């Protein structure tokens, strides 16, 4: 892409999003969608692996084994509620692998994924769209859905990108039906964990569960490091961009990995319920 087209796309996204940070996220994930294979980045999260031998790992289709750890994060994120017959909205659905996994393994009735990146949404519809599963371009701060339209809202490793976290939570509360659940997982610098809790406390959603799953994420990164390194090599990024990708990948040896091990960053999961 030449410099004028790149600037044009940043400008168009800025007009759409209204702030610079969200625009940078939009462009980053559009670019990622264009420069990596669908198979490689159907998932864009750090993964999860159980440390408890009595916790059973999900049985997967052999062709999904390659994505076992990111898939396990999705299974963990929705564990604790029954999805059968439910209408689910995923905010920040990325390339659609997570929504697909939930539709395929967990008996949900319907699932809609929304994501800021139009490029990612197009690929998600191409690879996973079908009956009861579709993807739309949209922003977490202003969800394009009626009040009380979903039984479950899911958000996996996306909210750390948001500049308007409070608006996002108000929107989650608005689109959830009474009795519905917000299944929420992400990471933060540990000293900011209380900010997340304060934002959640400011909503009418009831906190049903909070878990620190950092050690499980570290375990998954340990087990998935080689696949991630090979995947980065296969992207069409420049050497400088690959360096940035390496940092973001969280593999063993990166500052991100070290932060999780040392507790500088915390990976957490919440279940919240709309009571009223």
Q: Which residues bind ligand SAM (CB under 6 A)?
A: 22, 25, 29, 43-45, 91-94, 97-98, 115-117, 120, 139-140, 156-158, 161-162
Closest separation between CB of residue 201 and ligand SAM, Å?
22
Lookup result for tokens 């790149």: 6
- Which tokens is 185 given? 């997982």
Half-sphere exposure of 251 (CA within 13 A, CB side): 14
Closest separation between CB of residue 115 and ligand SAM, Å?
5
Query: How long a stretch of residues is the chain?
Result: 276
Closest separation between CB of residue 11 and ligand SAM, Å?
18
Minimum CB distance to ligand SAM smaller for 89 or for 161: 161
Residue nearest to ligand SAM (CB): 94
Minimum CB distance to ligand SAM smaller for 44 or for 271: 44
Closest separation between CB of residue 184 and ligand SAM, Å?
11
Three-state DSSP string of 84-103: ECCEEEEECCCCCHHHHHHH
Q: 205-212 and 265-274 as β-strands: parallel, antiparallel, unpaired?
A: antiparallel
Closest separation between CB of residue 245 and ligand SAM, Å?
12
**How far is 143 from 116, CA to CA, in rounded Å?**
11
Minimum CB distance to ligand SAM smaller for 160 or for 242: 160
Minimum CB distance to ligand SAM smaller for 91 or for 231: 91
Minimum CB distance to ligand SAM smaller for 156 or for 200: 156
Minimum CB distance to ligand SAM smaller for 140 or for 200: 140
Nearest CA among 254, 250, 244, 247 for reference residue 224: 250
Nearest CA among 49, 23, 9, 269 for reference residue 139: 23
Contacts (Cβ under 8 Å, ≥6 apart) of 85: 107, 109
Give the number of other Cβ atoms within 10 Å of residue 128's Cβ.
Answer: 24
Closest separation between CB of residue 54 and ligand SAM, Å?
26
Lookup result for tokens 């029954």: 82
């Amino acid at each position: 892409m030449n410099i004028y087209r790149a600037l044009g796309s940043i400008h168009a996204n800025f007009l759409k999003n209204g702030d610079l940070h969200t625009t940078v996220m939009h462009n980053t994930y559009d670019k990622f969608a264009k420069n990596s294979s669908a198979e490689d980045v159907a998932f864009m999260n750090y993964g999860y692996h159980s440390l408890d031998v009595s916790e059973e790992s999900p049985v997967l289709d052999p062709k999904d084994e390659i994505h076992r750890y990111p898939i396990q994060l999705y299974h963990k994120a929705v564990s604790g509620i029954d999805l059968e017959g439910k209408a689910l909205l995923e905010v920040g659905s990325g390339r659609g692998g997570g929504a697909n996994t939930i539709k395929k393994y967990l008996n949900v009735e319907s699932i809609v994924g929304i994501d800021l990146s139009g490029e990612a949404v197009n690929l998600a519809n191409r690879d996973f769209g079908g009956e009861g599963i579709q993807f739309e371009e949209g922003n977490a701060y202003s969800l394009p859905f009626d009040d009380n339209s979903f039984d479950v809202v899911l958000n996996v490793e996306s909210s750390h990108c948001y500049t308007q976290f409070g608006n996002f939570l108000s929107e989650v509360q608005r689109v959830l039906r009474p009795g519905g659940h917000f299944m929420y997982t992400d990471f933060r610098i540990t000293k900011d964990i209380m900010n997340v809790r304060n934002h959640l406390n400011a909503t009418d959603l009831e906190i049903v569960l909070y878990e620190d799953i950092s050690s499980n994420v570290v375990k998954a990164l340990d087990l998935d490091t080689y696949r991630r390194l090979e995947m980065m090599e296969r992207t069409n990024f420049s050497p400088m961009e690959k360096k940035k990708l390496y940092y973001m990948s969280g593999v063993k040896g990166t500052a991100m990995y070290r932060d999780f091990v040392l507790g500088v960053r915390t990976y957490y999961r919440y279940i919240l319920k709309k009571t009223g």
